């Protein structure tokens, strides 16, 4: 199956090399997808624990703490590194 990957937020330029679509095994979990994406980041880079996760528009927690989710073909996985600013 194939999911779409959207990254944004703080230091968004560091994830520009990630693919827009990710091929995964059938019934892959959210953690499988995060692990795969982590492997594709630059050496030494990782997603921050506070990074928000949404699956097809529904917020499911953070990298550090999220609910177990099974992904389906066509899902959109959004990873959002929190921003503040002022």
Residues that bind another protein (CB under 8 A): 6, 8-13, 48-50, 52, 54, 57-62, 64-65, 78, 80-86
Nearest approach, Cβ of 16 to another protein (angstroms)?
9
Contacts of 23 (CB under 8 A, 6+ apart): 1, 2
CA distance 2 to 24: 6
Nearest approach, Cβ of 27 to another protein (angstroms)?
22
Nearest approach, Cβ of 26 to another protein (angstroms)?
26
Closest CA to 54 of 36, 33, 28: 33
Q: Judged by CB, which is closer to another protein: 26, or 29?
A: 29
Q: Judged by CB, which is closer to another protein: 33, or 81?
A: 81
Q: For residues 49 and 64, is the Cβ–Cβ distance under 8 A?
A: yes
CA distance 22 to 52: 19
Q: Judged by CB, which is closer to another protein: 25, or 58?
A: 58
């Amino acid at each position: 199956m194939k999911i779409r990957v959207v990254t944004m937020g703080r230091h968004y330029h560091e994830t520009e090399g990630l693919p827009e679509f990710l091929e995964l095994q059938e019934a892959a979990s959210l953690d499988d997808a995060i692990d795969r994406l982590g492997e594709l980041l630059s050496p030494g880079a990782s997603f921050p624990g506070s990074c928000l996760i949404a699956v097809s528009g529904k917020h499911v927690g953070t990298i550090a703490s999220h609910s177990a989710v099974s992904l389906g073909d066509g899902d959109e996985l959004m990873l959002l590194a929190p921003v503040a600013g002022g």
